């Protein structure tokens, strides 16, 4: 059990950190189903009805969240989701941490159903390929393996979600409910479902290069995220104490060497390299598998701009000095 950041009324909420256990239990149950002969490949034929159902479920949940938020005390409301415009507030979310007893609805939806659902859909696509062609292709195995690693990593580091914008700042409304329950499992598994319909023969050299690209992306993503987490939790920790930093008026310091001296968002760079590695196994015959890289680039460029604005407002001149020392945002010498 871990505590979240301090809320407006000075209290902190408690959160169970057992997402990784949930993944292990889910994967164990899936393997049991496979052993019992359950045709997981049927998920391929059910993709559209399931996506429609989860979208319907997101609407139902959002209506519940919107209506129940009117019983929440004023200090429990999100700053951005209370404009008085019902459509906008329904979309962005009025209440910050809606709970039923101790069960935190936003925290639960944020990582578990979507990310674990994504792994389940991917495995279903792999089984469909086995049904159709008697074996799983190398391309399908790579896509499944890369994305399972990403999901396992997010759930292993579940505690880190407690300091993200989604948990700290945003209310729980349709945007997050739809994103978590419908968008992630069905849009992020596009490469695996594409490979069912468009088989790709991947050579050894191409596969090695793609594995290397995913490995480099993952290394940058994990190392940079961990370096900042360690630095924010304990700046005197031996792994970060020798890094160069600059002081800010808030008392917090900013890293200007190490990963955060390479570009101002090295974790986004790693994430994007991985996104490319997930699309490349699908070959170049179609644009569809590259949808994720394109969409994710737009999402992270926009997110970076939003974060940059918040940091400039928080740190003023110190942030400008950081930008002068580290001129590139995400891609060294490019952007
Ligand atoms: P970040 O982890 O990038 O955090 C940004 C914050 O880090 C800033 O607000 C600032 O906060 C601190 N910071 C910035 N620069 C420095 C510095 N030089 N030294 C020390 N602290 C600094 O935020 P995100 O939540 O956007 O990303 C987390 C991860 O999640 C990323 O790897 C991202 O790629 C991934 N992600 C994945 C998504 C997906 O759909 N797959 C969607 C969104 C994100 P402060 O100073 O207050 O500590």
pLDDT score, position 202: 92
What's residue 165's pLDDT?
Answer: 77
Match 């909420």 to its residue by tokens: 13
| Alpha helices (H) along the chain | 19-35, 47-68, 86-92, 105-111, 117-133, 138-156, 165-168, 174-178, 184-187, 190-197, 204-233, 266-279, 291-315, 317-325
Q: Please report how the helices 317-325 and 291-315 are oriented relative to each other, as an axis angle in degrees rounded to 10.
A: 130
Distance CA 44, CA 46 (A): 5
Residue 156 pLDDT: 95
CB 128 within 8 A of CB 196: yes
CA-closest residue to ligand 1 atom 7: 228
Indicate if the pLDDT at residue 37 is higher than 90: yes
pLDDT at 168: 84
Give the mean pLDDT of 311-333.
Answer: 93
> CB-hemisphere CA count at 13 Å for 116?
22
What is the chain's mean pLDDT, rounded? 93
Residue bearing the bigger pLDDT, 208 or 75: 208
Asked if pLDDT for residue 320 goes beyond 90, the answer is yes
Is the per-residue pLDDT at 2 higher than 90?
A: no
Ligand 1 atom showing the smallest separation from residue 184 Cα: 40
pLDDT tens digits along 40-62: 999 999 999 999 999 999 999 99
Q: Tens digits of per-residue pLDDT, 245-289? A: 999 998 889 999 999 999 999 999 999 999 999 999 999 999 999
Q: How far is the CA of 268 from the centre of ligand 1 (A)?
A: 8
Distance (angstroms) between ligand 1 centre and the Cα of 120 equals 28
When pLDDT is cut at 50, 70 and 90, the band that residue 229 belongs to is: confident
Token pair of 148, please? 């399972």
CB-CB contact of 332 with 262 (8 Å): yes
**Do residues 321 and 246 lie in contact, with contact meaning Cβ atoms separated by under 8 Å?**
yes
Residue nearest to atom 33 of ligand 1 (CA): 268
User: Taking a C-beta distance cutoff of 8 angstroms, is the pair 272, 297 a contact?
Assistant: yes
Tell me how far the alpha carbon of residue 72 is from its chain's centroid. Answer: 28
CA–CA gap between residue 97 and residue 170 (Å, rounded): 9
Q: What is residue 278's predicted lDDT score, i.e. its pLDDT?
A: 97
Confidence of residue 6 (pLDDT cuts 50, 70, 90): confident
Q: Percent of the chain at pLDDT above 90?
A: 79
Q: How far apart are CA 134 and CA 136, in angstroms?
A: 7
What is the distance between the alpha carbons of residues 247 and 255, in angstroms, rounded to a whole number?
9
pLDDT at 245: 92
d(CA 107, CA 16): 10
pLDDT of residue 269: 96
Structure tokens at 304: 């970076």
Overall residue count recorded for the chain in this entry: 335
Say if residues 255 and 228 touch (Cβ distance below 8 Å).
Answer: yes
Pocket of ligand 1 (CB under 6 A): 164-165, 221, 225, 228, 231-232, 252, 254-255, 260, 265, 267-268, 271, 303, 307, 310-311, 322
Residue 7 pLDDT class (50, 70, 90 cuts): confident
Chain CA centroid to CA 217, Å: 15
pLDDT of residue 239: 87
Taking the C-alpha atoms of residue 153 and residue 161, their distance in angstroms, rounded to an integer, is: 12
331 secondary structure, DSSP code: S
State how far the Cα of 171 lies from the Cα of 91, in Å rounded to an integer: 9
Ligand 1 atom closest to the CA of 256, numbered from 1? 18
CA 234 from centre of chain: 25
* pLDDT tens track for 79-130: 888 899 999 999 999 999 999 999 999 999 999 999 999 999 999 999 999 9
The average pLDDT across 221-243 equals 88
| CA atoms of 12 and 5, how far apart (whole Å) | 6
């Amino acid at each position: 059990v871990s505590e979240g950041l301090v809320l407006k009324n000075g209290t902190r909420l408690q959160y169970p950190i057992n997402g990784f256990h949930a993944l292990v239990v889910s994967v164990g149950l899936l393997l049991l189903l496979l052993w019992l002969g359950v045709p997981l490949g049927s998920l391929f034929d059910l993709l559209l009805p399931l996506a429609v159902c989860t979208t319907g479920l997101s609407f139902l949940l959002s209506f519940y969240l919107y209506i129940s938020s009117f019983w929440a005390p004023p200090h429990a409301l999100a700053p951005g989701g209370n404009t008085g415009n019902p459509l906008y507030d329904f979309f962005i979310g009025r209440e910050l941490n809606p709970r039923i007893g101790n069960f935190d609805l936003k925290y639960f939806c944020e990582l578990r159903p979507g990310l674990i659902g994504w792994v389940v859909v991917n495995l279903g696509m792999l089984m469909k390929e086995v049904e159709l062609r008697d074996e799983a292709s190398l391309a399908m195995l790579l896509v499944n393996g890369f994305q399972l690693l990403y999901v396992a990593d997010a759930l292993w580091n579940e505690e880190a979600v407690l300091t993200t914008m989604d948990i700290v700042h945003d209310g729980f409304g349709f945007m997050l409910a739809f994103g978590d329950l419908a968008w992630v499992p069905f849009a992020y598994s596009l490469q695996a479902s594409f490979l069912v319909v468009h088989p790709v023969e991947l050579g050894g050299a191409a596969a090695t290069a793609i594995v290397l690209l995913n490995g480099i992306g993952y290394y940058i993503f994990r190392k940079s995220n961990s370096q900042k987490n360690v630095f924010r939790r304990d700046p005197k920790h031996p792994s970060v104490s020798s890094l160069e930093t600059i002081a800010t008026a808030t008392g917090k310091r900013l890293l200007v060497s190490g990963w955060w001296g390479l570009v101002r968002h090295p974790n986004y760079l790693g994430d994007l390299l991985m996104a490319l590695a997930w699309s490349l196994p699908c070959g170049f015959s179609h644009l569809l598998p590259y949808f994720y890289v394109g969409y994710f680039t737009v999402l992270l460029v926009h997110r970076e701009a939003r974060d940059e604005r918040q940091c400039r407002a928080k740190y003023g001149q110190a942030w400008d000095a950081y930008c002068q020392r580290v001129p590139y945002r995400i891609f060294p010498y490019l952007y």
